[in-house]
């Protein structure tokens, strides 16, 4: 079996769009879909196009990489057009690309604009554009990638956290309105995941920082991009056929921790 063959073919003959699919979580999702038989249109910023292209291009004519900026409605329309024209249909949409602008009182209107446009507004636009081709197929599945930052307060991150929080409510509203069209809409909330941003912040020393940052979650380690991808593929698959308007945390228990954290410095009643 070649590296691009898979024992599973859950997504054979299905077509998906994955935004931000040449790096990090998006790349892991695109690769996983391709490995399970899907055809995938991948969006990427021109600056990121080369980063994951080699891995994706090994899947041949089942993948189409389209560079551009999701802030532009014309680019969103191009992604949908390329999927329908080149692959003939759309079954799946993964809204993953998101502008990481983390500012608070110093945020300009331009910062807010970017956070919302390359975030919940792009998610909404793409979902709206995909609705009709999904109806033509007879069903569809959408997964919005949000974050733990959409449900907890974090210091000096008004723009990013507010935009991610908007995605959580947008997901529920989409799910309600798309249900009569037989289109399911769910989200995943990654926690601390080893992406290029965290790799860079750790000085590319995962062995050192994995247990340090792992203290923020019950699993005591950082997550992997492929672990997020597996959760996304579950929600896209027929195994989740009666699941919509749900958020699946992929955070190692981050959201379940209280102020005691992992309890290393906590005296528990009855203990010695």
Does the annotation mark 160 as catalytic? yes
DSSP secondary structure of 6-45: -S--TTTT-EEEETTTTSHHHHHHHHHHHHTT-EEEEEE-
How far is the C-alpha of 116 from the C-alpha of 119, rounded, in Å? 5
Residue 63, beta-bridge partner list: 40
To which residue do tokens 């997901």 refer? 171
Give the residue among 126, 127, 118, 116 at the shortest CA–CA distance from 163.
116
Catalytic annotation, pick one of 75, 123, 160, 204: 160
- Determine the distance from the C-alpha atom of residue 113 to the mean position of all C-alpha atoms in its chain, rounded to a whole number: 20
159 and 115 in contact (C-beta within 8 Å)? yes
3-state secondary structure at position 185: strand
Contacts of 200 (CB under 8 A, 6+ apart): none
Q: Which two tokens stand for residue 55?
A: 């891995």
How far is the C-alpha of 111 from the C-alpha of 124, rounded, in Å? 19
Q: Which two tokens stand for residue 24?
A: 């990090």
CA angle 15, 146, 184 (to 5 degrees): 45
Q: Would you give the end-to-end CA distance of the chain in angstroms?
A: 55
3-state secondary structure at position 78: helix
For 186, which DSSP code? Answer: E
77 and 63 in contact (C-beta within 8 Å)? no
187 and 167 in contact (C-beta within 8 Å)? yes
Active site positions, annotated: 160
């Amino acid at each position: 079996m070649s590296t691009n063959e898979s024992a599973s073919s859950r997504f054979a003959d299905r077509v998906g769009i994955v935004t931000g699919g040449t790096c990090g979580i998006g790349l892991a999702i695109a690769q996983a879909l391709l490995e399970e038989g899907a055809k995938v249109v991948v969006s990427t910023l021109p600056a990121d196009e080369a980063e994951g292209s080699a891995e994706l291009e090994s899947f041949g004519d089942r993948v189409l990489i389209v560079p551009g900026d999701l802030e532009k409605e014309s680019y969103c329309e191009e992604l949908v057009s390329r999927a329908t024209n080149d692959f003939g249909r759309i079954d799946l949409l993964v809204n993953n690309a998101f502008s990481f602008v983390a500012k608070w009182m110093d945020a300009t209107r331009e910062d807010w604009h970017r956070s919302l446009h390359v975030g919940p507004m792009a998610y909404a636009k793409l979902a709206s554009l995909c609705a009709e081709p999904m109806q033509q197929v007879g069903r569809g599945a959408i997964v919005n990638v949000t974050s733990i930052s959409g449900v907890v307060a974090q210091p000096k991150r008004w723009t990013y956290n507010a935009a991610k929080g908007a995605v959580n409510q947008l997901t529920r509203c989409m799910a309600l309105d798309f249900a009569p069209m037989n289109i399911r809409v769910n989200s995943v909330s990654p926690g601390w995941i080893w992406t290029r941003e965290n790799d860079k912040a750790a000085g590319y020393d995962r062995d050192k920082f994995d247990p340090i940052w792992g203290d923020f979650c019950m699993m005591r380690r950082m997550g992997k991009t492929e672990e997020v991808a597996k959760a996304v593929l579950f929600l896209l698959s027929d195994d989740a056929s009666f699941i919509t308007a749900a958020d699946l945390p992929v955070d190692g228990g981050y959201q379940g921790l209280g102020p005691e954290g992992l309890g290393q410095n906590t005296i528990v009643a009855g203990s010695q």
